[in-house]
Amino acid sequence: MAQAVAFVGIGSMGEPMAMNLLKAGFDVAAYNRTPEKLAALKQAGARTADCPAAAVTPGGIVVTMVSNDQVLKELVAGNGGVAAALGAGTHISMSTISPDTARELAKLHSHYGGHYLAAPVFGRPEAAAAAKLWICQSGAAPAKQAARPLLEAMGQSVRDFGDDPGAANLVKLCGNFMILSAVEAMSEAFALAEKNSIDRTAMAAFFGETLFSCPIYQNYGRILANRAFEPAGFQLALGMKDVKLVQSAADSAEMPMPLAELLHERLADSIAKGRSQMDWTAIELIVAEAAGLR
C-alpha cells in the first residue's frame, strides 16, 4: 500500500514537487488556499482536501511549501491546522522561513508527540519539475529517517546541518543572500559592458563558461543578459521577504551586513516602481536606469 502524504501549498514550486511524489508512488492528498491550483494534481491522481487537517493522515507525513512565516503558522497552528491533526507524525517544512519560526513549530509538534524537519530547497520551478532540487535539512533523527524517501523523490541531493530545526533555514537564507548578491554584481558588470558597447549576452556566456562556470552565474546570467524577467521564476516580492529575514537574523547575531542593506534598497525601489510580481532578478532594471541605459 502506498504511503499517504499530505502536501500543503500548491504554488509554482509545490505543484511540481507534489507531482514528483505522485510519480514516486506516494498517495498524495493536496491542499491549497486557492483550490483552483489543485486541478493538475487532481488530474494526475492526487486526492484533494478543503482544509489542511483534512489532507493529513494522523501519525503520517505532511509536506508544506508556502510563501511566508505567517501563512505557515496559520496552517500549522491555527484552527483546523496541521499540528493537531498530524499528532505523532512528521512535518517536513520546505518553505523559506526564519530560523525562529522553525524552532517554534518544532516545539509545537513535539507537544503533540510529533516531529518537525526543516528542509528548504534551492532551485527554481524547472529544477523542481526535474526533481533536481538541492535540499538542506536539520532536525531530529526520526524526522530525517521518515523524510528521506520523499526528499530523494524531489531532489538531487540532501545535505544535513544537524539537530537544530532553525539551522537549515539559516543556510537557506545565507544562500539566497549570496544568489541575490551575485545578481547585483552581474547587473552592475553587464551595465558597465553595455555602456562600453560590449554585447552583454556574449559576456554573460563567456563568464558562465569560464571563470564562473556554475549554475547561478550560468542560469541567472542568461536571465539578466536578456532581461527575461517575466514570467517570474521567483517573484521579487518574495525576494524582499527573504532579504528582510536575512537582516533580522543579522540583527539577532549583532552583525552588520551592508550588502544586505543595498539589496533591500534595490528591492524596495523595484517594488515602488510596480515590479513586485516580476522575477527578483529585475533589480537589474534599477542598475540599468541609474546607468542611463533605460
CA dihedral (14, 145, 97, 84) positive or negative: positive
Relative to beta strand 133-139, strand 121-122 is: antiparallel
214: helix, coil or strand? coil
User: Which residues fall within 8 angstroms of residue 35, CB to CB, at 6 or more apart?
Assistant: 48, 50
Q: What torsion do the CA atoms of 159, 29, 111, 88 make, to the nearest 10 degrees?
A: -80
Distance in angstroms (rounded) separating the CA atoms of residues 283 and 26? 39
Would you state the cell numbers that stand for residue 115, as one nine-digit string?
516531529
User: Residue 81: phi, psi to the nearest 5?
Assistant: -85, 180
User: Which residues fall within 8 angstroms of residue 214, CB to CB, at 6 or more apart?
Assistant: none
User: Which residues fall within 8 angstroms of residue 93, CB to CB, at 6 or more apart?
Assistant: 64, 72, 102, 105, 116, 117, 118, 119, 120
Known catalytic membership, residue 172: yes
Distance in angstroms (rounded) separating the CA atoms of residues 258 and 262? 7
Which listed residue (42, 73, 132, 172) is catalytic? 172
Whether 33 contacts 65, CB under 8 Å: no
User: Which residues fall within 8 angstroms of residue 165, CB to CB, at 6 or more apart?
Assistant: 99, 102, 103, 105, 106, 116, 117, 118, 138, 139, 140
Whether 30 contacts 55, CB under 8 Å: yes
Which residue numbers are catalytic?
172
